[in-house]
Structure 1
Amino acid sequence: MLVPEGIISPIITPMHDDELINEKELRIQVNRMIDSGIAGLFPLGTNGEFYALTTDEKLEVIRIVVDETKGRVPVYAGTGCISTRETIWLSAKAKELGVDALSIVSPYYVAVTQDDIYSHFTAIAKSIELPIIIYNIPARTGNNIDYTTVKRLAEFTNIVGVKDSSGNFDNTLRYVEDTDRRLAVLAGNDSLILWTLLAGGKGAIAGTANVYPELSVGIYKLWKEGRIKEAMELQIKLRPFRDVMRMGNPNSVVKRAMNLLGYPVGPARGPVAGVNEKIDSALKAAFKLYK
């Protein structure tokens, strides 16, 4: 069974100015990420704007990424939907398209209990024979997946890991310390990549990897080699860009940064597609620190 580890890129979805998917640029970004040493690709995450894509567009993104990756690294498709039924359907379609694993966000918009979350992931795990990463991002979903729920879900061998984007490091520690040790705990907050690794995590799904993949990969490689002081220097180096991300919708800021750096990935899909001069200025100031 696949063990998620290393730096996985939640690859952005490039678009033309009319907000239609830019297949050519998506293929370019797949190769750019792999060439940088990324350990996996995660299409249709938050950075991939899954929330703004139609079902047909989601399937098209998966098809393109799987086709261009050609098995060089694992592809973790984001297939989480509000309902259990739709999540299972989309996951099955992703499997048909050849993905290696699934990343499934907890239900969003609806108010759910921990028992609801457990039942949701149980039904998915029983229906789809693919490795599954549980994706916890309470700021967007309105619920936190408690470590006790993750511990219960570890009974399913195809649930292989959990991505924690809560930003609460104690929550991450609970996943590491108080669930099943076979589960790969992945940082979802880029400011916590090294700290998660030092605590027993396996890697990160890092949005900033879309902008500076070598930097994120470097943190992991240096940690792996035991060069902790040097890894910490790279971790600290991410902070200025992370600070700019907080000035707007984070994944939209990532996409804007890529455009300013010369990667024609187009706009984020509305309602967050507008250019903000204050953010642009802050990004250009931050870029000077990465030369």
Structure 2
Amino acid sequence: MNENLNKYKGVIPAFYACYDENDGVSEERTKNLAVYLYEKGVKGLYVGGSSGECIYQSIEERKRTLKYVAEKMKGKLTLIAHVGAPSTKDSVALAKYASELGYDALSAIPPIYYKLPESSIYTYWTKIIDSTELPFIIYNIPQTTGYNLSINLFERLLENKKVIGVKNSSMPALDIERFKTIGGNNVIVFNGPDEQYVSGRLIGADAGIGGTYAVMPELFLIAEEYVSTGRFADSRAVQREINNIIIALNSLNGSMYAVIKQILKIQGVNVGSVREPMSPVIEDDLAKIEEIRDNINQAILNFSS
């Protein structure tokens, strides 16, 4: 692999939106979460993406989150700024700001809401790429954007040397294998679906970026260690526990991110709740959330012993 890409290899949590009691972006809580994850030993942070509730935030709020994380973690962790926004203008503004803050790379989903031709998607991504000197990571998440990155567009984008990778969150593991086969050692492929971290790594992903990593970073770090050292049966066992937890996180009344944030709060890292229209946790589920937290801690203990 290109030596310059090694900084992206590892477990990179998708960073959560951190709010105060008045639903405003909290500097203190944002920095506290960054420090918490740094101390867990993760490789980097993916800031301002789906887990960061970017679609529900203003551009200024997104800039504040980028700023707070950079102030605390620049030079300590690999920092990737997700700058995808409904308009190209706002995406470029976020890209330039992230560059000024010293982020290591940019990333963006394709345009959302309107069903655009592939030529428009190419132009959108290219304008973001050309707006700074930072490397760029394509974000493919068709289940939310309605667009699945085609091989043709992938190959076309790779003609730009600043395109260094793809965060692939489509569910077919075949997509990861194809992107890696085409990109080779000059491209880093990130596994997106947390439920298939191990299979994604085995079929070609070089690293992972995920929305549940930050609530159980130890388990993903253990899974990565097992895959990297050839302990494949053990890695599958960790993945089973991760998947059991993810299913539980999605089984309650509140948004998965609300449940995750409540678990972090119990663990001593208060990042607030979620922004509407996402649903907060309800009181009737608090005992079940405690149980999920206990299951996470027990799984960490089981695989650490």
TM-score, normalised to structure 2, is 0.88
1:4-35 deviation digits (Å, cap 9, x = unpaired): 22111111122122111222121111111111
CA contact (8 A) 1:42 1:75 kept: yes
Q: CA RMSD in A?
A: 1.9
Task: Name the one with the larger helix percent.
Answer: 2
Q: Secondary structure at the match of 2:112?
A: coil
Q: Secondary structure at the match of 1:47?
A: helix
Q: How does 1:89-128 map to 2 (within 5 A)?
A: 89-128=93-132
Q: More deviation in 170-179 or 3-12? A: 170-179
> Structure 2 CA distance, aligned partners of 1:242 and 1:30?
22
> Structure 1 CA distance, aligned partners of 2:280 and 2:258?
9
Identity of aligned residues (%): 27
CA contact (8 A) 1:176 1:200 kept: yes
Distance 1:278 1:154, change over 3 A: farther
Residue type matched to 2:216 in 1? Y
- For the pair 1:258 / 2:284, whether they are aligned, the reply is no
| Aligned residues between the structures | 291
Q: How does 1:11-22 map to 2 (within 5 A)?
A: 11-22=15-26
Distance 1:189 1:279, change over 3 A: farther
CA contact (8 A) 2:13 2:45 kept: yes
1:112-146 deviation digits (Å, cap 9, x = unpaired): 22222222222222232101111111122121112
Q: Which residue of 2 aligns with 1:269?
A: 275
CA contact (8 A) 1:148 1:179 kept: no
The Cα shift of 1:257 comes to 2.9
Residue type matched to 1:35 in 2? E
Q: Secondary structure at the match of 1:124?
A: helix
User: Of residues 3, 8, 21 in structure 1, which corresponds to 2:12?
Assistant: 8
- For the pair 1:207 / 2:214, whether they are aligned, the reply is no
Distance 1:114 1:244, change over 3 A: farther
TM-score, normalised to structure 1, is 0.92
- Could you tell me which runs of 5 or more consecutive residues in structure 2 were left unpaired when the two chains were aligned: 299-305
Q: How does 1:91-240 map to 2 (within 5 A)?
A: 91-240=95-244
Q: Secondary structure at the match of 2:47?
A: coil
> Structure 2 CA distance, aligned partners of 1:38 and 1:24?
20
CA contact (8 A) 2:263 2:289 kept: yes
CA contact (8 A) 1:240 1:286 kept: no
> Structure 2 CA distance, aligned partners of 1:288 and 1:93?
40
1:130-181 deviation digits (Å, cap 9, x = unpaired): 0111111112212111232112211111111111112222222322234455
CA contact (8 A) 2:226 2:235 kept: yes
Q: Secondary structure at the match of 2:164?
A: strand
